[in-house]
Amino acid sequence: MPQNATAKARTCGNRGHVSTQGYDGELRSERCYVADLHRRLDAERARVKERYDAALLGTGGTALERDDEVRALAKEVKRLAVADNGLCFGRLDAVSGERSYIGRIGLFDEDDEYEPVLLDWRAPASRPFYVATAANPEGMRRRRQFHTRRREVLDFTDEVLGRPDGAERGDAALLAAVNAPRGEGMRDIVATIQAEQDEIIRLDHPGVLVIEGGPGTGKTVVALHRVAYLLYTRRERMERHGVLVVGPNPAFLNHIGRVLPSLGESDVVFMTPGDLVPGLRVTAEDAPEAARLKGSLKILDVLAAAVADRQRLPEEPLVVELGGVRGRIDAETARWAREEARTSGLPHNEARAVFAEIVTYVLTERAIARIGKDWLTRSDRESWERLRADLVKELAEDEAFTAALDELWPVLTPESLLSALYASPERLRAAGADQALWRADGDAWTVSDVPLLDELVDLLGRDKSDDRAAERRRQAETRYAAEVLDSLVGRQDSMDDEDHLFATDLLYAEDLADRVLERDTRELVERASADRDWTYRHVVVDEAQELSEMDWRVLVRRCPGRSFTVVGDLAQRRSPAGATSWGAMLEPYAPGRWAYRSLTVNYRTPAEIMAVAAAVLAEFAPDVTPPESVRACGVQPWSRQVGGDELAAAVAEFVRAEADREGTSVVIGPPGVPGAVPASETKGLEFDAVLVVEPEHILADGPRGWAELYVALTRATQRLGVVHQGPLPPALRGLVAVGAPATA
């Protein structure tokens, strides 16, 4: 069925007709229609579950084919499981008389040539539901929006389209959504997507799309809905590799983590920048100068020099016993070997084999000349090469030779090289690095270390001994499987060939080895999260203004196709290594392949709070226009001055008061305020009520203090208060003072 098909209305058995007995009759009719959709959904769930259960027990096809079928059906079970709440949220009436119902997923009438009875919100035919206005009706005459609770339609609102003097799209559903108390996580906006958001969600751009918007403009949730749309329209190309979503911290990822599953999409990996090297544990935070240095592309020269510094020449010749004679690895030999290894183009650990080969050649040539000086000449090539082979084998097993290689060309890991570099002023100087990178505990990893460690994976390469061992195990399993097959064939030689299939008719040694070896049955998200070399078809980067040039190198490795949705607000940048211009940051990685879109409407922050935040924005980014709030809440943001011994009590009073209200709240303050979190940990989050403590101290905490305060003030959706001991910054004069100023 084509995606732009139109659903036929079906109401309590009357196909294509909706009652016109007034609002109550219409409501009964719509409830009946939606109830029928839920019956269809339940039937489809039962069919898919039956197929899934059968696939688990199935015996047809290969093991790989059965696994693929089980995984595909498991995804379908999950997709159908999330569709209950808000299954159908609207209806479109076309000028032609056709009616289309819009919902989370598509449903079809199997008894009527698979006619759609519910259109997926991502289908092209659903687009007018989001973009049609009175002035530009998109061929529609009415938009109906349902207000539902679980499976029940509570009520609906209608908008008549196509009237020349009509207003733009009504905001009843939107205002109900933005005024509702916040829960534990971000909600999807599938029922209330606005026209400027829909344009971005459906934008057909193959490269990097930048979505910039101030606080509350919905840029994050728009990016997530864009992922759902891309998975719907490009599923075959994207699904096998999945999508990566990168957010600033675990709290943010937990906040947004329900949106895509609620839209039926599960093949999405969520990570912070600190998670991009699997297994690494970030335990420290860099000083601003160290973060700036690590984020710059100039650090690439430091890393290359640090690797080269570990490729040493001996100060004194290293002695190796070989064939009963004493050999020496001198500086000249090591220099030749080092030059050959470096010019091989191989990563450091792989180039060690080239280094070892040259050194081995020199040692064996010298040893052969001394061992056979009285009886062997080069004209006797067979004897010469036989002796060389014996000496090479002897060297490979010689601990002194291995120790010499380790001294001159050690096998390195990213962690061992970088931690030794940070902890040694001498090594930092040798690599041309700034001493600001020094730290006593080299293994105290920071987020800024992640791109450097990731870079070193490619500079160093891997120790091939693990790969060789794995290949030997594989060969051993194959030999074992072949022996098993031979045994089976021998047993069957005495059987009636017409009554028994030979084992070799069914299996080959490598097939059997595949069954003996453990197969990776993990889900895509688990496999991708653990694999540094996994590549994604699309990557979403939130709070992208915080990412450095080196961070972007990591992300581009994860997505060679350069398909990104980038979300951010340059005015909120905190990191000294972050972006000051989208073009300067992205053009080196996607030249001519990035597009920019902006969101201008604030759906989260009420006008009363935004007026205060806008005054702060003007202090540090006067050229930036604040987003326009879509609503007012009727509650003025307030400030209260307290004495030093009253601060904790004021915070506790706020917490108690909000505990009795529906919704969420947070206390934001500088380090040292009990019960407060820093503004940086609330980026991207939203709360019904926010208390900002000591704004002057936030401003004093680092060069980006104004941006920190701006973030803190714009987290609230309903109520904002400020508690302070000293005078307020002049930019906060728009707050309403409450209570008498306390004396110190």
Q: How many CB atoms lie within 10 A of CB 682?
A: 23
Q: Within a 13 Å sphere around the CA of 212, how many CA atoms are in the beta-carbon half?
A: 19
Going through 220-285 in order, the beta strands assigned E by DSSP cover 243-246, 268-271
Strands 208-213 vs 538-541: parallel, antiparallel or unpaired: unpaired
216 is in an annotated binding site: yes
b (16+ CB within 10 A) / e for 664-677: bbbbbbbeebeebe
Q: Within a 13 Å sphere around the CA of 533, how many CA atoms are in the beta-carbon half?
A: 4
Residues 6+ apart with CB under 8 A from 609: 633, 637, 713, 714, 716, 720
Amino acid at 349: N
Q: Any idea what DSSP says for residue 279? A: T
Q: Which two tokens stand for residue 697?
A: 């101290």
214 is in an annotated binding site: yes
Q: Any idea what DSSP says for residue 123? A: S
210 neighbors 586 (Cβ within 8 angstroms): yes
220 is in an annotated binding site: yes
Query: What are residue 120's phi and psi, to 5 degrees?
Result: -65, 135
What's the CA gap between 538 and 206, in Å, rounded? 10
Nearest to 262 by CA among 69, 83, 526: 83
b (16+ CB within 10 A) / e for 457-469: bebbbeeeeeeee
Nearest to 712 by CA among 727, 697, 730, 726: 697
Q: Which two tokens stand for residue 133?
A: 């206005």
219 is in an annotated binding site: yes
560 is in an annotated binding site: no
Which own/partner contact pairs does 532-537 have at CB distance under 8 Å and 24+ positions apart? 532/277, 532/278, 532/454, 532/457, 534/241, 534/558, 535/241, 535/559, 535/560, 536/241, 536/242, 536/243, 536/244, 536/269, 537/234, 537/237, 537/238, 537/241, 537/242, 537/243, 537/561, 537/563
Containing 717, the helix (H) or strand (E) segment is strand 716-724
Specify the 3-state DSSP secondary structure of 531.
Answer: coil
Containing 601, the helix (H) or strand (E) segment is strand 601-602
What's the CA gap between 287 and 289, in Å, rounded? 6
Q: Any idea what DSSP says for residue 465? A: H
580 is in an annotated binding site: no
Strands 628-629 vs 601-602: parallel, antiparallel or unpaired: parallel
Query: What are residue 198's phi and psi, to 5 degrees?
Result: -60, -40
Binding-site residue numbers are: 213-220
Binding-site residue numbers for ATP are: 213-220
